[in-house]
Amino acid sequence: LGSLARWQAMGHLGDLLKAMRGAFTEGMKNAPSIVFIDEIDSVGDRTTFSGHNAQYSREVVNGLLECLDGSGGREGVVVVGATNFPHMLDAALSRPGRLDRHVIIPLPDMAGRQGILGWHLAEASSALDLTSVAARTNGWTGAALEQLARQARRRARRARRDLETADLLAELPELVPLPEAMLWRNAIHEAGHVVVGLTLGVGDFRSVEIIDAFDSSGESTQRGGGALFDEQVFPERTKAGFLGRIAVALAGLAAEEVVFSSRSAGGGGRKGSDLHIATVTALQ
């Protein structure tokens, strides 16, 4: 297991590179093995480096490329990198012979959420209605579902009884229905993404959803909906490609402007929002 933060904690550049190479050396000693690099986007993209730290950052990327090339041989060592921002990777990292197989792991769907809950509650899952719980956890990550399972177990232990579906439901935030006007605005917003995405051919259209209720937790990552396209993990880096992705990201807000002569704040304010995606894409 490695990450730039862990390697950097060893000291200056020389220590960082030594720790990085050490992770690969350890993997080779224990082959067959897996070297897992978490948050690999932290390594950066050499085309974006500038200022007095540019040379330092370039040497970090070059050091990782050297390890991936395995000039000393890394037979039996599989290297896996994880990131939420694949578009921020240096292009050389993902070329054939390095990290050349790309797998997208989206947020779990209904069946996935039910399966994750069943895994964490295996000893009691046959007696639980996990379908109803999964239906209430749209947009939740696997980690959030694991936490829900722990909290429900704790509730049952305090009551000195077996785990029940009610324990899981009791740990979920209360649902607050959205007003009709907000639902209509959200529908127009998502329709904008779909229309522009189909027009520009950014990928195969999969689905669009509108969320009719928010939970009362105040969690800022809750979404009013979403339009889903099957896109390439590493799309072509051309001007037309970048402008197309920016247009799709901003299409929801543009649709609101056309229909309502105003736009909501739902397109910004957090990582992964429409404005964040458009800005990150433009900076490339």
**Rounded CA gap, 115 and 109, in Å?**
10
Distance (Å, whole) CA 23 – CA 157:
42
- When computed from its CA atoms, the radius of gyration of the chain, rounded to whole angstroms, is 23
143 C-beta neighbours (distance < 10 Å), count: 9
Q: Is 75 a catalytic residue?
A: no
Buried b (16+ CB within 10 A) or exposed e, 58-67: eebbebbbeb
Segments of the chain assigned E as strands: 2-3, 33-38, 77-81, 175-177, 204-210, 213-215, 225-230
Instruction: From the candidates 26, 190, 219, 256, give the one annotated as an active-site residue.
Output: 190
Where would I find the H helices in 88-238? 110-120, 130-135, 142-158, 165-170, 180-200
Count of Cβ atoms closer than 10 Å to residue 188 Cβ: 16
Report the alpha-carbon distance of residue 196 to residue 201 in Å, rounded: 8
* Active site residues per annotation: 190
